[in-house]
Amino acid sequence: MMRIAIIGADGQLGTDLCETFALAGHEILRMTIADMRIDEVDSVNNVLRPLKPEVILNAAAFHNVPKCEQEVATAFAVNAEGALNVARVAEEIGATNVYYSTDYVFDGKKLNPYLENDLPNPLNVYSMSKLAGEYLTLNYSSKSIVIRISGIYGKVPSIMKGNNFVSMMVKLASEKPEVRVVTDEILTPTPTFEIAEKSMLLVRSGNLGLFHLSSEGECSWFEFAQVIFETLKFKTPLLPTSVKEFASPVKRPFYSVMENARYNAIPGMPKMAHWKDALVKFLRENYM
């Protein structure tokens, strides 16, 4: 049994991390913004040092992408400086330090799945701040793991956004005469319970460094929505559209699919499920 601090414990990913590690018999130290501010070094020191967790899972993030463009200092304070604060304490107490990052660190120009050793080129403030958090985690914490994730959804909606793509589609299907979703952004939707399960196996394996951890396969946001509509038997028309129809000041990669190369290379590790299989399972368990 390990003593595990989970930062962002009440968030979309944090909720499943808490549940997964607790069910496996580990001692969970749940931390929300009410318990600790990762952007304040004294708060991090005063909370983490006395508790001396063996593992720290840092799932806290300022991840509202448009808001990051407006609140640049806050984005870097939480996603980068916060990662540094946690990394320094982790190093001091000898804890394994896990930081969750994003597929958005890539610019999408490669047009085939990104490997861990591909050069990042973030296009917006959010992804720049997360990439900075990656570097600070890896360089200030010798027992560190950085996990890049993609298109996440879970049973608890995002705190900052108030929803995730699945819950948003469910809401729109019940309220709108039709729903339009883009076909020209390609990703890999990944449920938080899958990330939590494989994170636990990764921590137990003792492997360190940078990992991609997304579902297998790839799809457009429209194809993602199609499976939701088909599985839940929505009658509302679902129509394809283009990013050009949605005016946005934020640059995003049109292709952000990742290959779990380093994770899959670890002997005995179960592969991540295909995105469609994982989505149907999630919908059946939570919406049917």
Q: Where do we find the tokens 């001091």?
A: 92
Burial 212-221 (b: 16+ CB within 10 A, else e): bbbbbbbbbb
CA angle 103, 105, 109 (to 5 degrees): 90
What the block records as the tokens of 2 is: 């390990």
User: What is the C-alpha to C-alpha distance for residues 287 and 134, in angstroms, rounded to an integer?
Assistant: 35
User: Hunting for tokens 């593992």 — which residue is that?
Assistant: 55
The burial of 71, by beta-carbon neighbours within 10 Å (0-12 exposed, 13-18 middle, 19 or more buried), is given as: middle
Whole-prediction pTM:
0.96
Provide the residue type at 111 as one letter. Answer: L
Contact 136, 117 (CB under 8 A): no
The CA–CA distances, whole Å, from 121 to 75, 98, 138, 161, 228 equal: 17, 22, 18, 25, 31
**Of 188, 69, 70, 83, whose CA–CA distance to 130 is shortest?**
83
What was the pLDDT predicted at 225?
A: 98
For each of the domains in the chain, give its residue range(s) and CATH number, in order of start: 3-158+189-216+257-273 (3.40.50.720)
User: Kindly report the CA angle at 282 between 281 and 286, in degrees rounded to 5?
Assistant: 120
pLDDT in tens, the chain (288 residues): 899 999 999 999 999 999 999 999 999 999 999 999 999 999 999 999 999 999 999 999 999 999 999 999 999 999 999 999 999 999 999 999 999 999 999 999 998 999 999 999 999 999 999 999 999 999 999 999 999 999 999 998 776 667 899 999 999 999 999 999 999 999 999 999 999 999 999 999 999 999 999 999 999 999 999 999 999 999 999 999 998 887 777 899 999 999 999 999 999 999 999 999 999 999 999 998
The confidence score (pLDDT) of residue 77 equals 97
